[in-house]
Structure 1
Amino acid sequence: MRLFAIRDYRHLFGAQVIALFGTGLTTVALGLLAYDLAGERAGMVLGTALTIKMVMYVVIAPLAAAYVDRLPRRTLLVVLDVIRGAVVLALPLVTEVWHIYVLIGLLQAAAAAFTPTFQAVIPDIVTDEAAYTRALSASQVASTMESLLSPVLAAVALTFMSFDRLFLGTSAGFLLSALLVLATRVPDARPSAHTKAWDKVAAGVRTFLTTPRLRGVMALNLVVAAAGSIVVVNTFNYVRDELGGSQSDVAWMLAASGTGTLLAALALPRVLDRVAARTVMLTGAGVLVGGTAAAVALAATGFAVWAATAAVWSAIGAGMALVITPTGKVLRASVGRSALPEAFAAQFSLSHLAWLVTYPVAGWLGTNAGFALTWTVLAALAGAGALGAVLLWPRHDGRGAVPSPATAAAAARQDRSTLVKAA
């Protein structure tokens, strides 16, 4: 079955892509707004705003995953898009830093509820097994492409307009996403195998804690967050204050990181056909540790040169792709199809929990202690995560690895259930 021949999936995927780019452009514009309001303390403001974002993701996403089968999903997705569009439209009007925090809390609460709801709809629209797997991959590719193209689009737009106009465009994007959802026939939710809300919240996390390879993925989440926080939080102040760049230059430096992400992502499909996911992801962790160490060297030596900074940012982007892109494959190898939404929801929350640790370090410590010390702390966290991944993810547990006892038992129960239904 051709995935994009499915009309409802095509509309829903379009809504997701538009919402992703809206979020990416909002992040760039938000950083520039923080710099406009707070100047040299912009890193702390942005770090706080992104910390609020992570709190919302960690708390609300699993709750949304738990209750999504009790709500009219199409209506919920439309309402969440409308809320995000309205909040983004209000951001250019803020005059105080605390206004940003309130609006970001509301914006990210809606975003945190949107993602698990979207993920829960996909298997009901895409019923073919192979097409469903491709749908999961398509969502990952969309997220990867957003990290590249959002800064590029922002850089081009900022050549012709001020950053506050970006908010107007992203608000319109969220409303277009809502219209696409309205054009989609979303079936009623099927009750989950877990009837209690906490069971559904905890099921995916338990899978991560009891599966060796997924414990390794949790450690790798910390590596990605530590390195990524340097790019996401500190680029604005580093480019404007250390390199003397403009608003557009900030976006282009973010695009340098996205270029690294894209190049690695394009090379990965063939690599993953021949090399175990564990090897690829640990290699990515090594690249990220090296990238954070290079960033420390830039800050400690005062070697604020455009080319060197762009090279380091590109390396960090590539390392993030090497870790993040194979994650879906590892999840699919670890759980049965019925448990995939819970596993993806758990990874969504656990990965953002890592960012919840690193965003405040990059923002608050970066503002008060400088880049050298801040990036040294983040490099140490990246190194600890990489070492933890090596120790937690057994060497033999790569491509074609034997699943954990809990996973094997779950798969066996699923197989027996399928045979009973077939009989």
Structure 2
Amino acid sequence: MIRVLSHPVYRRLFSAQVVALLGTGLLTVALSLLAYDLAGAQAGAVLGTVYAIKMVAYVGLSPVTGALAERLPRKKVLIGADLIRAVVALALPFVDAIWQVYVLIFLLQAASATFTPAFQATIPDILPEEEDYTRALSLSRLAYDLENLLSPALAGLLLVVLSYQSLFLGTVAGFLGSALLVWASPLARRALPGEEGGAVARRGFRERLTRGARIYLATPRLRGLLSFNLAAAAAGAFVLVNTVVIVRGGDTAAGAAAQGIDRGETGVAVAMAAFGAGSMLAALALPRLLSKLGDRPVMSAAAGVLAMLTLGYGLRGSFGGQPLPWVALLGLWAALGVAYGAVLTPSGRLLRRSSHPEDRQAVFTAQFALSHACWLVTYPVAGWVGQAAGLGQAALILGLLALAGTFAGLRLWPAGDPEVLRHAHPDLPPDHPHLAAPAGDTASPTAATAGGAQAPGGAAPVHAHAFVIDDEHHAWPTHG
């Protein structure tokens, strides 16, 4: 896996991701403590609102900013977004009201909604070989897990000698470091739409705004991916929103048994680190596991585990079970982390497989927006239901959502899922360039069917190739 870091450009970009996520991890811990400082036992509801605002920014703004940024040099987009995030994070230590937190988080996440899809779409352009890209995805997952492992551990050490407000300065340093590393990376300039070597046609804003979602939702494997993302969001939201409540304050909702463990501020960091450690373990094992089993079996099994573990916790809490011992809670969080990482890590492989290079940023942006729409549902459930009805009831609802996502993913993503599909083009004449394209072109017929072979009885030309939704292919062959 580490071998992919020998690529100099990827090494710099990976380093940028690591330092930015170290800062983001400090921000996660600091926000939890700030919410508890401002709202006390209602911190879970505040964090649920904060994360819901984050998702609103992601879902509502990422398609718009992605469409606008498509005509800008990607390097400038990445650096600009990092600088905006640094400025906003610098203001967070000075807030003294909950509404100020909400406003600043919206601004920060609006910049992240621009940065993240553009960054993710850059990696497959740098690493065109699938084996290298798979390793890069696992390394990327490891980098994300730093937010849940090394950053909370670092936060715990810093909290021994500093106030939690100082953690926000670490966030600022992370975003500035990321901007510097991106600036130092010699990214090749993309051919923009309308330029020689760019997209075939100069698409209008509306087309750029909706193209990624249309490709995404017309592709069965990506519809399955979205369903598995719902399972990951359901379990992940419960962990991220309610860890601080479970570890520090307990469940104070009327009629609910207290489930707090009262391990203090450092206990929150340790619990989050356990979740991150599990996800990191999954990322280390996945390259070999995916090569043997494939994406669908691994992701569906992991989604099912997330559903069962979340439901189990909810049943225990809802029927008056004793609070989990500290070690058992850490073990549960680690197991949830393993399954969570196994669902999310392969996503980039599916997106890369399902799009042409010129559509890749649009498809990554669609994944970013649609997957975070799942979090927009699950974060409020984790925070508001947990506050109003108890943590057990919140976990039950989220576990049922995860179970529904698992079954939907299995239904929407057919088993087998071949890359090369035989299909007809009733809307194209036999001499259309797509049908006559030379074999070997990734968007052209295979050698056996090149030239648009006429089907028996004079039916529409039929051929086979690696199938993706694009200008010549508007619907999946098995769906009309």
The question of a shared fold, defined as TM-score above 0.5 by the shorter chain, is answered with yes
Secondary structure of the residue that 2:70 maps to in structure 1?
A: helix
Higher relative contact order (CA 8 A, sep 6+): 1
SS at the partner of 1:147? coil
**Which residue identity is paired with 1:355?**
W
Query: In the alignment, what sits opposite 1:376?
Result: 396
Q: How does 1:24-423 map to 2 (within 5 A)?
A: 24-122=25-123, 126=126, 128-129=128-129, 135=136, 138-192=139-193, 193=199, 195-241=203-249, 242-300=260-318, 301-304=320-323, 305-397=325-417, 400=418, 402=420, 416=437
Point out where structure 1 has 5 or more consecutive residues left out of the alignment.
Answer: none
Note the C-alpha offset of 1:215: 1.3
TM-aligned CA distance change 1:20 to 1:413, over 3 Å:
farther
Closer/same/farther in 2, CA of residues 222 and 403 from structure 1, 3 Å limit: farther
User: Does the Cα contact within 8 Å between 1:22 and 1:174 map onto a contact in 2?
Assistant: yes
Structure with max Cα Rg? 2
Structure 1 position 5, deviation (Å):
4.7
Secondary structure of residue in 2 paired with 1:70: coil
One-letter identity of the residue aligned with 1:218? L
On the 8 A contact 2:234/2:402 being kept in 1, the answer is yes
Change (3 A) 1:396 1:39: same
The C-alpha deviation readout for 1:255-309, integer Å capped at 9, x for no partner, is: 1111211222222222112112111111101110111012213422342221222
CA contact (8 A) 2:13 2:185 kept: yes
Q: Distance in 2 between matches of 1:239 and 1:299?
A: 15
Q: Displacement of 1:162 after TM fit?
A: 2.4
Moved more, 102-111 or 184-193: 184-193
Q: Structure 1 residues 138 and 266, CA, compared in 2 at 3 Å: closer, same or farther?
A: closer
Letter in 2 for 1:281: M
Going from structure 1 to structure 2, the CA distance change for 1:250 and 1:403 (only over 3 Å counts) comes to farther
Residues 69 and 190 of structure 1 are in contact (CA less than 8 Å); yes or no, is this contact kept in structure 2? no
Indicate how the Cα distance of structure 1 residues 413 and 377 shifts in structure 2: closer, same or farther if over 3 A, else same: farther
Change over 3 Å in CA distance of 1:420–1:179 after alignment to 2:
closer
Q: Distance in 1 between matches of 2:264 and 2:393?
A: 25
Report the count of equivalent residues: 413
Distance 1:322 1:171, change over 3 A: same
Q: Does the 8 A contact of 1:70 with 1:189 survive in 2?
A: no
Q: Distance in 2 between matches of 1:249 and 1:176?
A: 28
Deviates more, 1:182-191 or 1:89-98: 182-191
Moved more, 370-379 or 92-101: 370-379
Per the TM alignment, residue 32 of structure 1 is displaced from its structure 2 partner at its CA by 1.1
Q: Distance in 2 between matches of 1:147 and 1:114?
A: 20
In 1, distance between residues paired with 2:155 and 2:348? 28
CA offsets 1:151-194 (integer angstroms, 9 cap, x no match): 23223333333221111111112112222233233444422436
Query: Retained in 2: the 8 A contact 1:210–1:404?
Result: no
Deviates further, 317-326 or 94-103: 317-326
Q: Note if contact 1:336-1:414 (Cα within 8 Å) is conserved in structure 2.
A: no
The one-letter code sitting in structure 2 at the alignment partner of 1:273 is: S
- In 2: Cα distance, 1:81 partner to 1:218 partner: 27
- Give the TM-score of the pair, scaled to structure 1: 0.89
Seq. identity, %? 47
Query: Cα distance 1:303–1:177, how it changes in 2: closer, same or farther (>3 A)?
Result: same
* Residue identity opposite 1:250 in structure 2: V
Q: Describe the shift of the 1:266–1:171 C-alpha distance in structure 2 as closer, same or farther (beyond 3 A).
A: same
- Render the CA deviation track for 1:307-326: whole Å, top value 9, x for unaligned: 22222212211111121122
Separation in structure 2 between the aligned mates of residue 167 and residue 370 of structure 1, nearest angstrom: 31
| Higher mean C-alpha deviation, range 171-180 or range 192-201 | 192-201
Structure 1 residue 134, shift from structure 2 partner: 5.3
Cα shift readout 1:22-47 (whole Å, capped 9, x = no counterpart): 12221121011101110111011111
- Check 1:68–1:390 CA distance in 2 against 1; reply closer, same or farther (3 A cut): same
Amino acid at match of 1:142: A
State which drifts further: 306-315 or 247-256: 306-315
TM-score, normalised with respect to structure 2 = 0.79
Q: Distance in 1 between matches of 2:33 and 2:391?
A: 19
